[in-house]
Amino acid sequence: MKLLQMPSPSSRIAASVESKRLNEEFSPWAIYRNHTIVLLRKFFRMSLSLGRMPSLLGGELFRAKVTAYQVKTFEDTVIFVHDMEQCLARLDPIAKKLIGRIVFEEFRHGEVAKELRITRRQVIRRMHQAVDRVTELLLEAELLEPFCAPDGLPLKKSPVSVGKIENLQAREGDL
C-alpha cells in the first residue's frame, strides 16, 4: 500500500510561479501589446511636434522643431495627445516610469533594472503589465480599435468592412 505524499513546499512554489508566468504570457491583452507600443510612440512624436514633453517625462515646454509626420489637422493632434495624457495619468507610478524609460526614451531593460534596483525579469514582467493596463485604458477610451474579444476569439467583421471589400471586388471585376 502506497502512502500519499504531500507535495513539497518548493514544488508548490514552483507551480505557483509557473501559473503566474503562464497567466502573464497569455493575458487577454497580450495580442495588443505591439499595437499599444506603436500608439504610445505615435503619441510621443505628436506630443513633441506640439512643443510639449509628455507628462511621463516631466511635461516641460520647449520649442518644437517641424517634423515630417503628417497629421490631418492640428486640432486632431491636440485632441489625440490630450486623450492619451488622460489615459496615461491613470497609470501607477512604476508603470509610468517604465513606459517613459523603455518606450519613450528607449532605455534597455537592463538599464532600467539597474536604475530601479530590481531584476531585469521584474522589469520585463512589470512592463508587460503596464502595457496591458494601457491597452485596457485605450480600449475604454476608444483610442485603440478592438480586433478580438477579451476571451481571445476574433471579432466578427462589421458589415461596413464587408461592403467595402465587395465594392473593391466589383471594381476589380469591371477592369
Does the pLDDT value for residue 156 go beyond 50?
A: yes
In this structure, what C-alpha cell is assigned to residue 111?
538599464
Place of cell 490631418: 72
What average pLDDT does range 64-76 have in this prediction? 57
pLDDT at 165 over 60: no
Query: How far apart (Å, rounded) are the C-alpha atoms in residues 116 and 123?
Result: 9
The predicted-structure confidence for 36-49, as pLDDT tens digits, reads as follows 999 999 999 998 88
Whether residue 100 is predicted with pLDDT greater than 70 in this model: the reply is: yes
Residue written as cell 520649442?
63
pLDDT tens track for 106-146? 999 999 999 999 999 999 999 999 999 999 999 999 988 88
Which band of pLDDT confidence, cut at 50, 70 and 90, is reported for residue 55? low
- 118 Cβ contact list (under 8 Å, min separation 6): none
Q: What is the CA radius of gyration of the chain?
A: 22
Burial 74-88 (b: 16+ CB within 10 A, else e): eeebeebbeebbebb
Query: pLDDT averaged over the chain?
Result: 75
CATH of 13-174, one of 3.40.50.2300, 3.30.300.30, 3.30.470.10, 1.10.10.10: 1.10.10.10
